[in-house]
Amino acid sequence: GQSLEQPSEVTAVEGAIVQINCTYQTSGFYGLSWYQQHDGGAPTFLSYNALDGLEETGRFSSFLSRSDSYGYLLLQELQMKDSASYFCAVYTGNQFYFGTGTSLTVIP
């Protein structure tokens, strides 16, 4: 089976940095993705890591350690619009399986 764990809720101050962790146990692993979902909306793609290390895309960075079955999403210079749910997702080569999701609240 597939298991992806994330913290359920995180609160951070506008302008700060926040890290959302993801640990996974899956049968088959090609890479780890991160998606953002605002209330009532569709998930939108943020990043994909196939290899160990840090990938940076603007204010968002994503890290993967395959040996530790662990990754994280780093959000810098937080803005109010970053308040949303964030999901990690493992790509098995055929499908994506999603984590439990982290609700991020950015406060002034």
Task: List contacts with other proteins (CB under 8 A).
Answer: 30-31, 33, 40-45, 48, 50, 87, 91, 94-101, 103
Determine the Cα–Cα distance for residues 10 and 60; give it in Å rounded to an integer. Answer: 16
- State the nearest-atom distance from the C-beta of 22 to other proteins, in Å: 12
Phi and psi torsions of 81, nearest 5°: -70, -10
Contact between 92 and 50 (Cβ < 8 Å)? no
Q: Which is nearer to other proteins, 14 or 90 (CB)?
A: 90
- State the nearest-atom distance from the C-beta of 15 to other proteins, in Å: 27
Name the nearest CA neighbour of 64 among 78, 54, 79, 75. Answer: 54
- State the nearest-atom distance from the C-beta of 102 to other proteins, in Å: 10
